Amino acid sequence: MKMPLDTVLSGDHLGKFVSDIFGKHMPFIDLLGMEMVYQGMDKAEIRLPWKDDLMGNPILKVLHGGVTAAILDTVGGLMAILHAVSSWDSV
């Protein structure tokens, strides 16, 4: 994600930028296959396409608890940052 050094981000552009950093520049998120879908400064949507490799119980076909925790941690981190930057005029 290359931008000129004099680029000014504000509002939804800033939120989208933050969301893109999470979705495209964090190796663990990429490893799990999480996809960030920007919905606004006060919402987070993360999609996780099903992979059998992420099952915690192959009999019940249930997602592993560690994957669930990673999703919750990612949503929490993303929302905390979006909330923090939502009051900024620009960056």
Confidence band for 5, pLDDT divided at 50, 70 and 90: low
- Is the pLDDT confidence value at 4 over 80? no
- Is the pLDDT confidence value at 8 over 70? yes
Task: List Cα–Cα distances, 70 to 1, 29, 74, 76, in angstroms.
Answer: 24, 8, 6, 10
What is the greatest pairwise CA distance in the chain? 54
19-74 pLDDT, tens digit per residue, is 888 889 999 999 999 999 888 888 888 999 999 999 999 999 999 999 999 999 99
